[in-house]
Amino acid sequence: MKPHAKPLAGLKVLELARILAGPWCGQLLADLGAQVIKIERPEVGDDTRTWGPPFVTDAAGNSWGAAYFHATNRGKSSVAIAFETPEGQAAIRALAAEADILIENFKVGGLKKYGLDYDSLKAVNPRLIYASITGFGQTGPYAARAGYDYIIQGMSGLMDITGEPEREPQKVGVAVVDIFTGIYTATAILAAVHGRETRGEGCHIDMSLFDTATSILANQASNYLVSGKSPTRLGNAHPNIAPYQVFQVADGHIIVAVGNDGQFQKFCATLGAGDIAAQPDYATNALRVARRTDLQSAVQPYLMQKTRAEWLAAFEAAGVPAGPINRIEDVFSDPQIIHRGMRLELTAADGSKVSGVASPIVINDERMSAPSPSPMLGSGQAQWTTQ
């Protein structure tokens, strides 16, 4: 059966972005079928090409850039252009004149001196959707500051609610603010594409890492805004549900995620702890949250009586949500991940192969991942192709 055309086939995306948030957005659009031309500086390219080890090598054994770069640039072509030269600026302007979308993550005003800011390019392409990603947005007292995921995690309060109560605040294990900003930017771009059909013109999208990080505080932000009390670090416990945490078992640890009173009854029955389930102090979730420490102490001895595999099997049979804590190597040998095809093996024109992680988006039974790996620096042409 001939595969369907991907939903964004025909859209032209010009990426003037580096590191993670902007390239993540561009890769997502490429996965969905857009043509993405990535503009990189000659000789050095995107900073993340050097962010290793580990490094990927091509079929001839030459360096193809760090694994980090390949995590966020598949499906694109690379054009090496010097922004500082009139010739480079003219080449970018010519591409922008035909583009549907431009993604950039320069400092506020950083492209204006090259005549590549929104107002300048809008004059040559009124239909251009121009997405700017910065640390703090285009306005406000911090607008001129550079933004880094790590610092934003700290400033936003995300680190203050991550980690053990008595230890230092912790960042998330990946640059989650950059990634979320890339996803939010892609969402805004797709909304703008739809809006352009009505208005007949493009727009300027202003995305801020600090805004994004504040937004994804989600229930923790709501907890503060409703109660007036700042949430604190709870380690692996949940601020609003109990028991919803990591427990030690005979040979390691498991996660138990009891989401309602019925599941709590099943949890206790599986443990053989009916007396705990019958106690009025644990009858509702609100009561269990208030007494989470006592509850943990009460159930922990039961959990030490069996292994991880035994408990996970027992909880699954009883309908109690529970799961393992896998190493990343375990994830890629998990039968569900294998069945879903989440590991990619992409092949370049010269036969070089790159392993990667597929897009999580599936439409009409087709996984939306770009078919080609990340590009060699400067291997593309400064022109759009007809799709």
Burial 131-167 (b: 16+ CB within 10 A, else e): bbbbbbbeeeeebeeebebebbbebbbbbbbbbeeee
- Six-digit token pair at 224? 């503060």
> CA separation (Å) from 259 to 90, 137, 286, 299?
58, 37, 12, 17
The rounded distance, in Å, linking the Cα atoms of 158 and 169 is: 9
382, burial (CB in 10 Å: exposed 0-12, middle 13-18, buried 19+): middle
**CA 214/CA 103 separation, integer angstroms:** 22
Q: Which residues contact 291 (CB under 8 A, 6 or more apart)?
A: 242, 281, 282
Q: How big is the chain, counted in residues?
A: 387
251 is catalytic: no
Task: Return the H-helix or E-strand segment holding 182.
Answer: helix 176-199
Of all residues in the chain, what percent are helix, strand and coil, respectively (each to 5)? 40, 15, 45
From the list 46, 117, 149, 178, the catalytic residue is 178
- CA distance linking residue 284 with residue 112, whole number of Å: 58
Taking the CA atoms of 179, 184, 185 and 186 in sequence, report the sign of the dihedral they define.
Answer: positive
Enzyme catalytic residues: 178
